[in-house]
Amino acid sequence: MSAGPTGAARGPDLIAAAAGSLLDPLGRDLAARVQWWDLPDHPEAWPVAVLGEGPPVLLLHGFDSSFLEFRRLAPLLARSHRLLIPDLHGFGFCPRPAQAEYTPKAVLRHLEALLAVLEQRFPETGGPIGLIGASMGGSVAVELARRNPERFQRLLLLAPAGLTGRPMPLPPLLDGLGVRFLALPSVRRALCRSAFANPDRDVGPAELEIASLHLRAPGWAEALRRFARSGGFAGCGDPLPPLPLTVLWGADDRILRAPQKRAARTLLGERLSELEDCGHLPHVDQPQRVAATWLEGG
């Protein structure tokens, strides 16, 4: 599969191919669990990986990523939970209609539509559900829970990005240049390596493939450009939602900058725990620790 955005293919075709040919066997298995849900006010079906049985948990991936981010955590939690792992609006392998809005508000509207369908598909679950968000998905989780506190039982944030600060919209021209820069194979490789605590040990062709596969989805560049123009998620942590909340991040995180870490630590206080030998992706670097934290109720 190509590592770049050339040769775009439809999301369903990309996921079907991934289920059969991804180098990472956990990625193949998770891709095979994708269902395509019809959502209110969305003209095309939406990809949601669904696996496991038990209390439901919604998992939200980070910026310029996909549901495949949770390939190592999902098997550990699916033993006792029903997991629902969608691609966020404008990201991953989702449909990207040209006329759609690509902003934080649109991401949240999409998730609220997904929650409504969840209740219809699994009426037996009932009551509040669990919520896990990684990187930008952490800010998405906080915003979603603050808007809908009755829908959620507790939150686990993994290296959350965007809880502090303010939106920084990219101006015209720079947004397009930034997206073209992100599409370069050398840049994808560098970003993937920077997300791991020990890239020389842990980053190979399988990780690089998953980090870049979604770039082939139609509309990837335009949707990302417009999301960057909106300023993205920032300053989402104040006030925190009135729910039990735990935060894990890596001691070797090279994505979150020092000022971001200091501000987040001030905001989160004792809710935050640091994992050794862990980078920006606790659910990839330390999936057993993340699973244990969730299963222990922390």
User: Do the strands 272-275 and 245-250 form a parallel or antiparallel pair, or are they unpaired?
Assistant: parallel
Residue 222 lies in a domain: yes
pTM metric for this prediction: 0.95
Give the pLDDT of residue 8: 61
Residue 5 lies in a domain: no
Give the pLDDT of residue 297: 86
Give the pLDDT of residue 81: 96
Is 190's pLDDT higher than 80?
A: yes
Give the pLDDT of residue 3: 36
- Asked whether 2 and 217 are in contact (CB, 8 A), the reply is no
Which of residues 1 and 231 earns the better pLDDT score? 231
pLDDT above 70 covers what percent of the chain?
Answer: 97
CATH number at 97 reads: 3.40.50.1820
pLDDT in tens, 42-89: 889 999 999 999 999 999 999 999 999 999 999 999 999 999 999 999
pLDDT above 90 covers what percent of the chain?
Answer: 87
Helix or strand run (H / E) with residue 159: none
Residue 162 lies in a domain: yes
Is 6's pLDDT higher than 70?
A: no
Residue 29 lies in a domain: yes
Give the pLDDT of residue 2: 35
Q: How many domains does the chain have?
A: 1
Residue 152 lies in a domain: yes
What's the domain range around 223?
Answer: 11-295
Give the pLDDT of residue 7: 55
Task: Report H helices in the chain.
Answer: 11-21, 25-32, 74-77, 104-121, 136-147, 174-183, 185-194, 199-202, 205-212, 220-230, 258-268, 282-285, 287-295
pLDDT in tens, 134-149: 999 999 999 999 999 9
Q: 188 Cβ partners below 8 Å, 6+ apart?
A: 3, 182, 208, 211, 212, 215
Give the pLDDT of residue 298: 60
Give the pLDDT of residue 123: 83
